[in-house]
Amino acid sequence: MFNKPTILYPGKFTIDDLNQLRQGNKIWQEVTIYDSQVVELAEINFPGDEVARQKFINDYPDGELAGSWIYYPWSGLLLHCVDDASLFRLRTNRNQHIISAEEQQKLAASTIAVAGMSVGSGIALACVYSGMSSTVKIADFDVLETANLNRLREKLTNISQPKVILAAEQIYELNPYADVQAFPDGITADTIDAFFSDPAPSVVVDEIDDFSMKVQLRLHAKQRQIPLLMFTSLGDNILIDVERYDLQADLQIFNGALGDLPAEILQQSEFTPDQVKRYAVQLVGQQFVPTKAIASLLDIGTSLVGRPQLYSTIGVDAGLAAYVIRSIMLGEPVMSGRYFVKFAELIGMPSADLDDGPGRQEILSQLFSRK
């Protein structure tokens, strides 16, 4: 079940309302950050003017009826915090002047939709950290497993919990005033229209494994002229797919790089394990997949349960995604295409992980000869 925080908004509650909230819920901890936030507001409003700062603090509303009270049902925490606008100002103050005040407001008014809460949870959180997207749509049907903790910033105590709910909780703990729309069944034929509407997303991010839904996401994004991004972690490399359907109505899905493969995928009612492995390489493009990563596909189902991924790559995914999404939302010239980031090259290290030698060809031959 998806529980949102309960919020008592400034000027809209009484002491009786607050006491009722305290008595009617399991509150394990009560925390006030309100007074320290007022001091922070004084500092950013009047830098270098101690007299003005002190007057601001003295004149600012205080006591239990000031600010907001936020109850988080999943942790039993009752938080005393400043109002929505003040919290936004505090959270985005250090973005200035890299992001202007006008740009920050535009970013906040946007909607981000992220499908897939492994890589995608970090991307959604990176956008929230950056003060983007007051409305966040997140979708995933899966639950957190211990093996996910090599790349997801989660806790052992959250194992077996739905990934989408855990991501929503993290977003609300950063911004309790956010509008998080969670899709705990993932992207399906029944949920995809809602994922793209009420409100329509400014940008869609595809981080799901379902091949058919990857195609459907693009078809819906193209129909609605919404840009779509995908960040694929490939060992110590990242492939960024940018599809600007908002700028190019006739753009072929997957930037036209896959030929007839999307149509072939849609014709399949189910996939064999070997088809899944081959399609995974074809969707990315074998020229971008390191030899060790391709070899690992041969071992899935025997010595491996899933394809390997590293936190060092997933963390960079999130930062790059926040940058690309911000650039698109602010009208920067982000063009459709496939962009490959190879970590070794960034710091001048030699790397042979994509060299087309006999060993690599043998692995590819084994993979594509399987039926």
pLDDT tens readout for residues 205-225: 999 999 999 999 999 999 999
The tally of CA atoms less than 13 A away on the side-chain side of residue 108 is 19
- Mean of pLDDT values over 141-168: 95
At 298, phi and psi to the nearest 5? -65, -25
Tokens read off for 195: 């994922």
pLDDT of 56 strictly over 60: yes
pLDDT of 367 strictly over 90: no
- Mean of pLDDT values over 79-83: 98
Structure confidence at residue 298 as a pLDDT band (50, 70, 90): confident
pLDDT tens readout for residues 99-143: 999 999 999 999 999 999 999 999 999 999 999 999 999 999 999
Range in 14-23, 117-126, 270-279 the model is least confident about: 270-279
DSSP run (H or E) holding 341: strand 337-342
DSSP state of 26: -
Boundaries of CATH 3.40.50.720 in the chain?
101-261+309-350
pLDDT of 270 strictly over 90: no
348-368 b/e (C-beta count within 10 Å ≥ 16 → b): eeeeebbeeeeebeebbeebe
Provide the pLDDT for residue 132: 96
Provide the pLDDT for residue 190: 97
Provide the pLDDT for residue 1: 57
Which residue from 134, 131, 127, 120 is spatially nearest to 163, judged by alpha carbons?
120
Q: Which fold has domain 101-261+309-350?
A: Rossmann fold (3.40.50)
pTM over 0.85: yes
Instruction: Look up residue 285 and give its amino acid.
Output: G
- What is the CB neighbour count within 10 angstroms for residue 209? 14
pLDDT of 370 strictly over 70: no
pLDDT tens readout for residues 90-109: 999 999 999 999 999 999 99
pLDDT of 371 strictly over 60: no
pLDDT of 277 strictly over 90: no
Range in 100-109, 246-255, 287-296, 340-349 the model is least confident about: 287-296
Over the chain, what is the mean pLDDT? 94
How wide is the angle at C-alpha 32 spanned by C-alphas 13 and 155, nearest 5°?
110
